[in-house]
Amino acid sequence: MLALALEAAWVVKIPVANMHSRPSEEAEVVSQALYGVTVSVLEEVPGWVRARTPDDYSGWISRDSLAARHEGPYAASGRVALVTSLFANVYREPDIRRRRPELTLPFETRLEVIEESPTEDRWVRVRLVDGREAWVQRGDISLEERPLAVEETLALARRFLGLPYLWGGTSAFGFDCSGFMQMLARRRGVLMPRDSLPQSRWEGSEPVAPQDLRPGDFLYFGDSPEKVNHTGMYLGGGEFIHATSQGRPMVQISRLDEPPWSERLVGCRRLKVASGK
């Protein structure tokens, strides 16, 4: 039944919601959805919904991870705060000492802004998914969202060095390889597919010869172009950054001329965006 979809917009209400291959906590995590993301409900069973995220990816999300919003999607219009720190604490009042944070939200979370107080330069008042008012520190957010240039994207990627690798991960709590690359492309202003194989064939990018690589290009690895199972971003000087479980499971920098990457590079692509942007 699709009663959920007919009654309200359904929005993720926890910092990061796992998306499973089946309606079970024991099933494989295939992706994640961040706080405040509105999902399309495709199917419902007791305790679970099969949902589609804005990147056209579907999986089973625990019903307890979602909130109904009869007023429509969250942070879809009006003034929006984008979390630009790796993590941002959200408080019940503009004070970091009196109470513990209400939520700790990852990079790229979007929050509805209620007020930018002229007397509170440090704080911005926001509305949470459930309608409660809360406060976030201005230093953790940006109120002006714009696509990043290549050099800005490379600098952003390096901020995640050392963060843990997480299968199915799409947040600063843990990325997998394609989730990390999808996030970096999103900060460039484009929405690419979720998984590495469709990313490697995506029409929003174009093939590049290895000898013509430029910083910011996307790299794809596997047994063949038809069996891509890993991706990263070229930094220049033969180095690339990626989220990998190889060796130390974390976001790290590796070299293209070292194994196993030297034997497994099967594709290079460049986003079709304006030069230098």
Q: Where does the pLDDT of residue 1 fall: very low under 50, low under 70, confident under 90, or very high at 90 and above?
A: very low
The vertex-106 CA angle with 141 and 195, nearest 5°, equals: 120
Residue 179's nearest CA partner among 275, 110, 244 is 244
pLDDT at 8: 73
Question: What pLDDT shows up at residue 116?
Answer: 77
CA 268 – CA 201 distance, rounded (Å):
10
242 catalytic residue (yes or no): yes
Residue 20 falls in the annotated catalytic set:
no
Q: How many CB atoms lie within 10 A of CB 43?
A: 15
What's the predicted TM-score (pTM) here?
0.93
Query: Choosing from 20, 70, 242, 268, which is the catalytic residue?
Result: 242
Residue range 149-159: mean pLDDT, rounded: 98
Could you tell me how many residues make up the chain?
277
> Catalytic annotation on 230?
yes
| Residue among 20, 70, 230, 268 flagged as catalytic | 230
Helical spans, DSSP H, in 107-195: 150-159, 177-188
6-10, 86-90, 98-102, 163-167: which range is least confident on average?
Answer: 6-10
- Residue 231 contacts residue 239 (beta carbons within 8 Å): no
Contact 65, 14 (CB under 8 A): yes
Which residue in 20, 70, 177, 268 is the catalytic one? 177
pLDDT digits (tens, 9 = 90+) for 213-260: 999 999 999 999 999 999 999 999 999 999 999 999 999 999 999 999
What's the pLDDT at 2? 46
What is the pLDDT at residue 152?
98
Tens of pLDDT, residue by residue over 52-105, are 999 999 999 999 999 998 888 999 989 999 999 999 999 999 999 999 999 999
Domains and CATH numbers, the chain: 3-69 (2.30.30.40), 80-142 (2.30.30.40), 150-271 (3.90.1720.10)
Whole-angstrom Cα distance, residue 192 to residue 233?
A: 14
Which pLDDT score is estimated for 5? 44
